[in-house]
Amino acid sequence: MGFLEGKKILITGVASNRSIAWGCAEAMHRQGAEIALTYQNDKLKSRVEDMAHKCGSDIALPLDVAQDADIEALFKALGERWDGLDGIVHAIAFAPREQLEGDYVDAVTREGFNTAHEISSYSFAALAKAGRGMMEGRNGALVTMTYLGAVRAVPNYNVMGIAKASLEANVRYLAASLGPHGTRVNGVSAGPIRTLAAAGISDFRDMLKKVEERTPLRRNVTIEEVGNAAAFLCSDLASGITGDILYVDTGYNILGLG
């Protein structure tokens, strides 16, 4: 029997079979969870519907986190299918492309800063707020995806690092707020993975190579490994863990030599 048997879990951020969210969906399905997926736009609809089917689910709902109406409609629609909700996986980030290259001070703009924070951090609080009713008193859990750039100055990550720092603070404030309602809140800090969000990032190949050469495990992390960690954090095995960031990065963050 899987350790998520009987749990109903909403997973956002599936865009392809390389998405971290897809690693989460497969891991959680393997552990016996019922899964619902969301897709950002109509272009992704049929692909995400097919991927939901692979997890034994026929729930794929639209969600653009920039739209309050989408967030509201999502939980209304989910409430028509499920009588409660045990977990939400937030695997969404976006900053305008030109924010993610070159010198931070050269690149940063008010609009770039605001967009990165709205889509990548506020959206987590917004989902927590809209989902609170369905999750009330069920030993539920929220999990978000973060990156080392939240706590270190990583070249080119720029304003996304500031947004991830905000997201990690969101983990702590949401944990303090929702703990009394029975909901735990944690983040997984993943090492670099070649997903759509990594496509076209300058020097991404070099980053992957450096990780392979230097980390304790001498390799890169997989979406399966990140998914397994997220599954654990959503499960009752993690019942004493909230407000925390779990690194799934083959040990990169512990190193002192750059």
Contact footprint for ligand NAD (CB under 6 A): 13-16, 19-21, 40, 63-66, 91-94, 119, 145-147, 190, 192-193, 195-198
Longest CA pairwise span in the chain (Å):
53
**Residue nearer to ligand NAD on the CB measure, 5 or 212:** 212
Instruction: Give the contacts of 218 (CB within 8 A, at least 6 positions apart).
Output: 212, 250
Please give the residues from 71 up to 110 whose contact with ligand 0WE meets the rule CB under 6 A.
Answer: 93-95, 97, 100
Q: How far is the CB of 160 from ligand 0WE (least distance, A)?
A: 5
Has 95 been labeled as part of a binding site?
Answer: yes
Helix (H) / strand (E) containing 175? helix 159-178
Binder of residue 201, out of ligand 0WE, ligand NAD, none (CB less than 5 to 8 A by kind)? ligand 0WE
Whether 33 and 7 have beta carbons less than 8 Å apart is answered as yes
Q: Exactly one of 39, 157, 247, 252 is catalytic; which is it?
A: 157
Residue whose C-alpha is closest to residue 117's, from 95, 150, 100: 95
x-marked contacts with ligand 0WE along 137-176 as a string, rule CB under 6 A:
----------x------x-xx--x----------------
Binder of residue 40, out of ligand 0WE, ligand NAD, none (CB less than 5 to 8 A by kind)? ligand NAD
Burial class (CB in 10 A: 0-12, 13-18, 19+), 183: buried
Has 13 been labeled as part of a binding site?
Answer: yes
Q: Exactly one of 39, 147, 247, 252 is catalytic; which is it?
A: 147
**Residue nearer to ligand 0WE on the CB measure, 187 or 192:** 192
**Residue nearer to ligand 0WE on the CB measure, 220 or 235:** 220
Say whether 122 is catalytic. no
Write down the H helix ranges in 31-138.
42-54, 68-81, 104-107, 110-117, 123-135
Helix (H) / strand (E) containing 145? strand 140-146
**Residue nearer to ligand 0WE on the CB measure, 39 or 157:** 157
Residue whose C-alpha is closest to residue 121's, from 93, 98, 88: 93
Please give the residues from 121 up to 140 whose contact with ligand 0WE meets the rule CB under 6 A.
Answer: none
* 15 makes contact with ligand 0WE (CB under 6 A): no
Give the span between the Cα atoms of 227 and 72, in whole angstroms.
Answer: 26
Say whether 252 is catalytic. no
Q: How far apart are the first and last CA of the chain?
A: 43
x-marked contacts with ligand 0WE along 185-204 as a string, rule CB under 6 A:
-------x----xx--x---
Count of CB atoms situated within 10 Å of the CB of 256: 4
Amino acid present at 79? G
**Residue nearer to ligand NAD on the CB measure, 21 or 231:** 21
By annotation, the residues acting in catalysis are 147, 157
